[in-house]
Amino acid sequence: MNYPAHIAQKIAKCIWETYATQVDGLEEYLETPPNPDLGDFAFPCFRLSKSLRMAPPKIAASLCEGLQPDALIQRVECVGGYLNFFLNKSSYAAQVLDAIRLAGDRYGAGEEGKGKTVCIDYSSINIAKRFHIGHLSATMIGSALYKMYGYLGYRCVGINHLGDWGTQFDKMIAAYLKWGSKDEVEQGGVDELVKLYVRFHKEAETDPSLEDEGRAWFKKIEEGDETALSIFNWFKELTLKDAARVYETLGVQFDSYAGESFYNDKMGRVIDELKAKNLLEQSQGAYVVNLDEYKMPPCLILKSDGATLYATRDIAAALYRKDTYDFDKCLYVVAYQQDLHFRQWFKVIELMGYPWAKDLEHVAFGMISYEGKALATRSGHVLYLEDLLTKAVEKALEIIEQKSPELENKEEIAKQVGIGAVIFFDLFNSRIKDIDFYWDRALNFDGETGPYVQYTHARCCSVLRKAGEQTAQPDYASLEDPQAQALLRALDELPSVIREAVRRNEPYLVTRHCVEMAQCYNRFYYEHQILTDDPAVRAARVALTDAARRCIAIGLRLLGIQAPERM
């Protein structure tokens, strides 16, 4: 039941009957009072003072007389310039719980995205480098959005735009041929490649000629040299094999791994169109699109040596994705440092005459540092994600061994809890906020954390196992207490929170709401005996527990976190 819409309709009808004036859009002005004693919803009559030419307290008093209670609204009170609405609490409980029971595991899902496609570009790891925590936000924000958009009926296309082109590969090949061996790389995998990459930069500090060797190998890659391409593709294969383990552990999926090199033969179209539309101009030997009119530096399309750049490839990729998927929206989950880059080439797409430029969106997020220092692969200051996940699982297992030594499947549950803790930590704040990654903070299992929410879900499951099947008709009047009503409100709000998270591309809204639902349930759990002797009261409280279990599981699932039934 959409209570705000119902209340807004009652107010609008009363205004018409009292003042013969029609006022629309009242629903958006409804507020939730900070104190439950002031009602479930409040309407500030200040919004009407201009159109009705009356003081807000007078408007509130006159409308209050005409607003009659009904099956949903128990009473209406006038306090100053506010109308305070009190719901019929037992009716509210029945409607919320029935809605959750009938929807099941699809509670809050929708079809508003039916027939629409959203492309989500996320993770975008670099070839020949291990998956480190700097890729965590790009991966988990994108994965959560993929799940949330899909939950609302959108056709989602997850794209891992691999960083598989650029001068880093020439250095890697040169280092491998100079100091590496096939056996060592096969055994060491990406770790061995990183060692070679770090060594190259250290050696190049005293021997600058190494840079020339590297550039020569990149030229061979561009020219299609068989030896260069063979090594390059081998490095790519090793990287994807290494990353696949991490993606599987995190429960992350993609529909496309088309990276930068995929667009090598697709950039001619970009150059030709820009020239044909007189957008390309020469500047110091390079070719750019002038963006002075839009208060941005020029967008560099071709370097003076004819080489393409990131913008060229991104434009080519956008054209390909529109042609291939006909997206309604294309999201780019990339750190906020790239904001200017995206604004520039989005504007170029617009200047090329493509109306769908408005459907391109940069989903920016903050940077991740490690124990107070910026990540730097060249210097070796980096925290590998696989190592983090392994340590998180070990920490979770230690806690389980201490608190629940008899628990079955301890290793599997430790995996769910440890990995869930890392994901929850990453998605807990607004994505634009920087994260300074410290072990003790990330693996803190107390407070507003993933393990806390998971434990609450397991607690609900435990209550339900003890309760067994309920045959009595629930007494919803037994759910009129503040704790039950707060929990019902939190569960009722989940669908709108999911939609707001999608509207703003902010998964943290669901993360925080999971904490709120868990906190509300635990307050209810501690204040009330759920398995009481009264069959009707017991049935109502068990139904509320089941609804909490289901909603918490849905929230966790949308974040990419599993919900253990025992902990």
Tokens (6 digits) for 358? 């408005």
Strand order in the sheet with 73-79: 41-44, 82-87, 73-79
Percentage of the chain beyond pLDDT 70 is 98
Phi, psi (rounded to 5 degrees) for 106: -105, 15
Bin 396: left if φ > 0, else alpha if -120 < ψ < 50, else beta.
alpha
Task: Choose, from 132, 147, 171, 329, the residue flagged as catalytic.
Answer: 132
pLDDT at 194: 82
What does the mean pLDDT of the chain come to?
A: 92
pLDDT at 377: 54
pLDDT at 530: 97
Dist CA 517 CA 18 (whole Å): 41
pLDDT at 546: 98
DSSP-derived pairing of the beta strands 286-289 and 435-437: unpaired
What band does 375 get if pLDDT is binned at 50, 70 and 90?
A: low
- Kindly tell me if the per-residue pLDDT of 134 is higher than 90: no
- Amino acid identity, position 482: P
pLDDT at 313: 94
Answer with the residue of higher pLDDT: 443 or 127.
127
Tokens (6 digits) for 315? 């434009």
- Amino acid identity, position 187: Q
How large is the average pLDDT for residues 451-466?
96
Which of the 8 DSSP states describes residue 132?
A: B
- Kindly tell me if the per-residue pLDDT of 380 is higher than 60: no
Q: Which CATH superfamily is domain 3-87 in?
A: Arginyl tRNA synthetase N-terminal domain (3.30.1360.70)
How large is the average pLDDT for residues 517-530?
97
Strand order in the sheet with 280-283: 280-283, 286-289, 299-302
- Kindly tell me if the per-residue pLDDT of 188 is higher than 90: no
How large is the average pLDDT for residues 377-392?
76
How large is the average pLDDT for residues 449-471?
96
Read off the pLDDT of residues 403-442 as tens digits, 9 standing for 90 and up. 899 999 999 999 999 999 999 999 999 999 988 877 677 6
pTM (whole model) above 0.75:
yes
Angle at 420 between CA 415 and CA 426, to 5 degrees: 140
Dist CA 335 CA 354 (whole Å): 25
Task: Choose, from 6, 13, 58, 135, the residue flagged as catalytic.
Answer: 135
Answer with the residue of higher pLDDT: 189 or 83.
83
What are the residues facing 289 on neighbouring strands? 280, 299
Angle at 355 between CA 350 and CA 359, to 5 degrees: 90
User: Which sequence spans correspond to the domains of the chain?
Assistant: 3-87
What are the residues facing 513 on neighbouring strands? none
Bin 533: left if φ > 0, else alpha if -120 < ψ < 50, else beta.
alpha
pLDDT at 381: 59
pLDDT at 378: 54
Read off the pLDDT of residues 87-128 as tens digits, 9 standing for 90 and up. 999 999 999 999 999 999 999 999 999 999 999 999 998 887
Angle at 72 between CA 85 and CA 34, to 5 degrees: 30
- Kindly tell me if the per-residue pLDDT of 210 is higher than 60: yes
- Amino acid identity, position 56: P
Task: Choose, from 10, 89, 129, 415, the residue flagged as catalytic.
Answer: 129
Which of 17-26, 300-309, 317-326, 367-376 is most confident? 317-326
pLDDT at 170: 80
Q: Are 72 and 7 in contact (CB under 8 A)?
A: no
What band does 190 get if pLDDT is binned at 50, 70 and 90?
A: confident
Q: Are 496 and 30 in contact (CB under 8 A)?
A: no
User: Which residues make Cβ contacts (< 8 Å) with residue 278, sequence separation at least 6?
Assistant: none
**At 208, is the secondary structure helix, strand, or coil?**
coil
120, containing H or E segment: strand 117-121
**Cα–Cα nearest to 68, from 1, 2, 10, 4:** 10
Read off the pLDDT of residues 530-545 as tens digits, 9 standing for 90 and up. 999 999 999 999 999 9
Angle at 112 between CA 108 and CA 117, to 5 degrees: 115
What band does 379 get if pLDDT is binned at 50, 70 and 90?
A: low
135 is catalytic: yes
pLDDT at 47: 87
Dist CA 301 CA 270 (whole Å): 9
What band does 376 get if pLDDT is binned at 50, 70 and 90?
A: low
**At 117, is the secondary structure helix, strand, or coil?**
strand
How large is the average pLDDT for residues 386-390?
89
CA gyration radius for the chain? 29
User: Which residues make Cβ contacts (< 8 Å) with residue 510, sequence separation at least 6?
Assistant: 144, 148, 497, 498, 501, 555, 558, 559
Q: Are 34 and 483 in contact (CB under 8 A)?
A: no
Percentage of the chain beyond pLDDT 90 is 69
Number of H helices, E strands in the chain: 20, 13
132 is catalytic: yes
Phi, psi (rounded to 5 degrees) for 132: -115, 175
pLDDT at 371: 74
- Amino acid identity, position 299: C
How large is the average pLDDT for residues 544-556?
98
Neighbours of 340 (CB within 10 A): 11
How large is the average pLDDT for residues 154-161?
97
pLDDT at 89: 94
Neighbours of 3 (CB within 10 A): 19
Answer with the residue of higher pLDDT: 536 or 219.
536
- Kindly tell me if the per-residue pLDDT of 344 is higher than 70: yes
